[in-house]
Amino acid sequence: MELVIWLVAAYGMSQILVYGSIFNGLRNSIHKWGENPLAVFYSVGSFLSGLISCMMCTSTWVGFTMSFMWSPWVNIMGVHPALGVFFDGMLASGGVWAINTIIEWFEEKK
């Protein structure tokens, strides 16, 4: 049950970061930064712009971050914490992708 809650939380956080209206201003600023090759740290802006445009990409980093609060791989599977961070990012990416795919399927069937 804890794993399901963790995956739903990862989905929710990723959904808010990628699509939530509360972050529209921040996302637009990051996209402008990533599109301007003359900007300071252009490569960082370009990376972040791509990151916040993709549910799978964003959820990977959400998983890395959530791993420091509670790690499914460490707490359920007994994996070393250093590896747990990596595996939690992969788990979040796959889990969020699956949830998002199901939700998009239902949205298309409306």
Give the pLDDT confidence of 64-105 residue by residue, as tens digits. 999 999 999 999 999 999 999 999 999 999 999 999 999 999
Alpha carbons 9 and 12: distance in angstroms, whole number: 5
- Residue 100: name the closest of 5, 40, 24, 19 by CA: 19
Q: Which amino acid is at 51?
A: L
Give the pLDDT band (50/70/90) at residue 35: very high
Can you give the pLDDT at residue 102? Answer: 95
Q: Which amino acid is at 26?
A: L
Contact 48, 33 (CB under 8 A): yes
Alpha carbons 74 and 80: distance in angstroms, whole number: 6
Give the pLDDT band (50/70/90) at residue 7: very high
Q: Looking at the predicted structure, is the pLDDT value of residue 60 above 80?
A: yes
Give the pLDDT band (50/70/90) at residue 6: very high
Q: Which amino acid is at 27?
A: R
Alpha carbons 14 and 46: distance in angstroms, whole number: 19
Give the pLDDT band (50/70/90) at residue 109: confident
Predicted structure pTM score: 0.88
